[in-house]
Structure 1
């Protein structure tokens, strides 16, 4: 028989509203029924039947239940660390200057090439389990620290193994065009990426490119995306992060699911994203960690009807964090958006950026029962207090994530 779980005595149940610009619906004094790992229905507490009518009854004790966080932009498969860069940046050396001198991404490429698949898998699994303990229930994982066929393939194989081992949704993205490996020239490397795109069918779900000054151009983005579309890949783009190049406009025009970073995106870019239904993936943790001051035109995006998503950008160089709670807090307070808008962006909006908002992200009937029980009865505490882990328990497809109370233990 298919089991039915009843989570009762919920103080607040938060659902992402998918009918308009994403926000949340707050339901109080209610119960959540989960059947076969999916949301069955939401009941008023008074409608809960006797306990023997359910497989199991869980008393939430007045705490809040929120959708599981969806981290729609990560680089969590990598070797090594880049702590030395922090000293350089404090001294005034920019991210692009470090990259152009052969550091930055190139240091991680070297370490990732040297690491075995087993080592990368073990390290990434620990990171991913820690992220799950902090409330993340669905992931995107990019390659991009190989810049050769062997290592890029190795990274994506690790991502596929993680998906199978941890039984959570994982979207895999081929980011071959992340940097230009030395001593190759840009045009030569773009040809390499184009020639090898077919080899990633069945291994990656999408294709990404870092369109930035002195890295890859809008013309490169166009070439890669047109080829990727022909091969059936979803399109995502690192654009307008450190300068304005026009990549977001072109990516939206070509049908990208998401444009990510967007600190330098213009109103014209935003209108193109709205027309294409492209999601804006924002990562305030990067701004904080790199000491940046430029912020995206978040309220222009909201006014234009562009769906917002939030992500950690978990990586060793520009945002080494595992915690979507931190991202939600930063977004609300840096962008001056409401707690509901921030939480919706970290759940439904992020799921939409991956093309999976009908499957998970809203805690809506029929969706996977991926959710968090907070330590508090008020979801607004996520953006009021900071530096605290508010996750009491995490559930993926109705099953509790083991170790969810001790993220530091992984």
Structure 2
């Protein structure tokens, strides 16, 4: 199994941290002073991690040029200023409260981009430009609420809106899992639902988080883990999207190949097989009948007075007659047998039966055609002339027998 390079980063950090820990312990045991611990701001660390993920998504977008990747990039990119706004200190209370409101607005915008990404990927078009015009007004509202009513009010409002957007995003990606069976989409859906629950939980605990700092570490840790899985899910989704496109392209190519194959062996006017298809199946059918000791016969069918119809009523009328005869032959000849348009007003049938059965089949076709109720719609004088011949055992080429059936057809035409 091949690991992607970005998945090796946590392994490297883990091994490096263990090495540093062991080295520090060894130095301390020898009486060598160890360097002092350096405090790290969780919010600045989160901004740094979001910057790395944003850079990776930028590389993915440069390679794939998919709009949903660009929207994910924008969503992760907004996490950076959101975290930095909360990480720094402010001299005035008003500035601090405004920063909280602005950070909540950036969080809502980030969740909006996540939802937009799923919307674009599924082509559901829930996000429309006129709906996005409400975002600036929401940003002003969050900042004003934070300044006027305090950070707790802005946090509650921002968390609830963000939770709703994240839950909707999770629902869309869950639908993608059902439709396309993508692991990456499933992981993202799980993360989005988890983050929605985390935001609702923060809404309930916001007063205790602000006053005593309770549950801040726990919620921050849960969010960090969920966002890590989110980054993995996005990259997995990008890879699966590429393989899905390749699979769909292969299916379209296969479908186009089948259509071309059918077009090459089918007469476009009547829908019957053409001469080329007879050449393809002739040797296969001869071998099959020889292997199973089955009789085979040919029927050569010609439309009476067809040239006169073309000359007097036009080619459109002649085409309608050809289509009617083709439908008639397909109804009265088994699907296991073959009906070919041989050329002009001539048809050829390759059927599994003896010569005597072929003779009776020819007589039945002529009588049924004359007695067909819908035959009254045809020009007067239309009928069928049929020549038949049994294929002798050991035959390797049907063409001489086709010529013989053609000659017998003319004998039958002269007798009408």
- Shorter-chain TM-score category? under 0.3
Q: Who wins on radius of gyration, i.e. which is larger? A: 2
- Name the structure where strand makes up a greater proportion of residues: 1
- Name the structure where helix makes up a greater proportion of residues: 2
Asked which structure has the greater RCO (Cα within 8 Å, sep 6+), the reply is 1
TM value normalised by structure 1:
0.21
